[in-house]
């Protein structure tokens, strides 16, 4: 096999998909799992799995040095509300935490990536072996958006872009050009539930990357769970930025959307006659 690649794993299926793809590419996968987040089944997909608690940066670095890891990726989710109750940093993690002036997604992840690279561990894009997971452009569902829904998508797109610029979240819920919910620390599904309940029915969900999104981590993602949540609140539309976000279980997701009569569409700025977000 080629040289090992590190995998700093959160929750969900993304770490497992990455591990399989990296192994197929001939890489030996050295994984770091987070207790309470990472699927224990990851152990069967990697060469070796070390467990850490949230904030144990020093242990991650020691494990990677032990295994001669010089490249790594971040994959999977971390429940963001845990930063208020479950962070148990070691000394290196505590020192880094105190240096970060804003405890928001990008600031935290960029700081951790910087600390790893200071130790000679390059952080690669999480999609380096999974390009096929990018959300495609076009209408994926049988149902097409109405002109009124396109107006809501266009409105929500501009709001979501500004929220992303402030590093608040990647998703907004709108109806009739009214903002019903903005994703913050609670995550996409909670934002959809909150906004969908306020809408009563017909909610339009828009999810896109932040301006200047670092493709090494925290890419927006949707999947079957997103559709199930939207259907549960009698929502209407899921609009996602094509080529800039991930989609899991695509076929199953679209089947569920069609059963629920939902619109699922991948768009970009040009489709909506909006100015580009820049690099």
Residue spans per domain, the chain: 5-123, 134-272
Q: Does the pLDDT value for residue 241 go beyond 90?
A: yes
Q: Give the three-state DSSP class for 108.
A: helix
Fold of 134-272: Cytidine Deaminase; domain 2 (3.40.140)
Domains 5-123 and 134-272 share a fold: no
Q: Which residues of 137-160 are buried (b: 16+ CB within 10 A; e: fewer)?
A: beebbebebeeebbebbbbbbebb
From the number of C-beta atoms within 10 Å of its C-beta (0-12, 13-18, 19+), residue 41 rates as: exposed
Please tell us whether the domain made up of 5-123 is placed in CATH 3.40.50.300.
Answer: no
> pLDDT for 124-172, tens place per residue?
999 999 999 999 999 999 999 999 999 999 999 999 999 988 888 899 9
CA–CA distance from 121 to each of 20, 194, 215 (Å)? 21, 40, 17
Q: What is the pLDDT of residues 103-121, one digit of tens each?
A: 555 667 788 889 999 999 9
Tokens of 143: 């149902």
- How much is the pTM? 0.85
């Amino acid at each position: 096999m080629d040289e090992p690649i590190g995998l700093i794993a959160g929750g969900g299926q993304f770490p497992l998909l990455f591990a399989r793809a990296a192994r197929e590419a001939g890489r030996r996968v050295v994984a770091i799992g987070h207790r309470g987040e990472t699927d224990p089944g990851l152990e069967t997909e990697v060469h070796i799995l070390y467990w850490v608690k949230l904030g144990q940066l020093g242990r991650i670095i020691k494990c990677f040095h032990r295994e001669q890891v010089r490249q790594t990726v971040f994959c999977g989710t971390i429940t963001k509300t845990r930063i208020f109750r479950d962070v148990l940093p070691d000394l290196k993690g505590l020192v880094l935490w105190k240096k970060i002036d804003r405890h928001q997604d990008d600031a935290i992840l960029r700081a951790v990536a910087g600390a790893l690279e200071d130790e000679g561990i390059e952080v690669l894009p999480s999609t380096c072996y999974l390009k096929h997971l990018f959300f495609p452009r076009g209408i994926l569902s049988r149902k097409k958006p109405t002109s009124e829904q396109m107006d809501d998508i266009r409105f929500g797109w501009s709001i979501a872009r500004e929220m992303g610029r402030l590093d608040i979240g990647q998703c907004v819920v709108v109806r009739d050009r009214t903002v019903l919910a903005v994703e913050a620390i609670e995550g996409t599904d909670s934002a959809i539930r909150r906004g969908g309940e306020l809408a009563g029915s017909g909610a339009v969900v828009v999810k896109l990357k932040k301006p200047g999104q670092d493709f090494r981590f925290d890419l927006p993602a949707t999947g079957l769970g997103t559709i199930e949540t939207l259907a549960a609140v009698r929502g209407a539309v899921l609009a996602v930025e094509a080529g800039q976000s991930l989609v899991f279980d695509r076929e199953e997701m679209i089947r569920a959307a069609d059963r629920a009569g939902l619109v699922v569409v991948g768009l970009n700025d040009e489709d909506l006659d909006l100015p580009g977000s820049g690099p």
